[in-house]
């Protein structure tokens, strides 16, 4: 089965981080990504620019409206994702628990819909 791991964490700690810590986090992500490529779980994955760069789009009565920022103001923001192939939810939970920012933020595990 495929699962999307959505990485939510508080953005502000990232902006407050010093260069050395930021580099350390990047290194952890690099090692993690390599390990799930090697184990055959990795399908795709990206980090996202901060929510200050987000634009939310809605179409109402045929008119496109845009707003500055993310759809919802929450304590934790979406910061990246992995798309993985896993045997079952237990497998997916174990992989999600190893995402470097799982220690600080939270990882939402969502099964990907299969169209028949």
Partner 1 sequence: MIAATDIDKVFRDEAGRALATLIRLVGDFDLAEDALQDAFAVALERWSSGEPPDNPRAWLVNVGRNKAIDRIRRQAAFRGKQQALLHELALNAQGPDEPLAMLDDDMLRLIFTCCHPSFAAEVQVALTLRTVCGLSTAQVARAFLVGEDAMAQRLVRAKQKIRLAGIPYQVPESDALAPRLDGVLAVIYLVFTEGYVATSGTDLMRPDFAAEAIRLGRLLDRLMPDRAAIKGLLALMLLHDARRAGRETAAGDIVLLEEQDRSLWDRAQIEEGLALVDDALRVPGRPQPYVVQAAIAALHARAPSYAQTDWPQIAGLYEVLLRINPSPVIELNHAAAISMVDGPARALDLVDAISARGGLDGYEMLPAVRADLLRRLERKQEAREAYAAATGATQLEPLRRLYARRLREME
Q: Which residues bind partner 1 (CB under 8 A)?
A: 1, 3, 86-90, 92-93, 109, 111
Closest CB to partner 1 among residues 4, 25: 4
CB of 112 to partner 1, least distance (A): 10
CB of 91 to partner 1, least distance (A): 8
Six-digit token pair at 28? Answer: 């952890």
CB of 3 to partner 1, least distance (A): 8
CA distance 87 to 79: 25
CB of 115 to partner 1, least distance (A): 13
CA distance 92 to 21: 28
What 8-state DSSP symbol labels residue 95? H
Closest CB to partner 1 among residues 77, 95: 95
Closest CB to partner 1 among residues 72, 113: 113
Closest CB to partner 1 among residues 44, 89: 89
CA distance 56 to 63: 14
Please say whether the beta carbons of 84 and 95 come within 8 A: yes
Please say whether the beta carbons of 95 and 5 come within 8 A: yes
């Amino acid at each position: 089965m495929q699962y999307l791991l959505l990485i939510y964490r508080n953005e502000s700690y990232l902006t407050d981080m010093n260069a050395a810590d930021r580099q350390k986090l990047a290194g952890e992500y690099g090692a993690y990504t390599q390990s799930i490529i090697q184990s055959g779980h990795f399908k795709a994955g990206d980090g996202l620019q901060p929510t200050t760069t987000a634009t939310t789009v809605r179409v109402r009565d045929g008119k496109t409206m845009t707003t500055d920022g993310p759809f919802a103001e929450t304590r934790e923001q979406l910061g990246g994702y992995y798309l993985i192939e896993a045997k079952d939810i237990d497998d997916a939970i174990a992989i999600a628990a190893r995402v470097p920012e799982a220690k600080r933020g939270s990882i939402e595990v969502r099964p990907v819909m299969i169209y028949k």
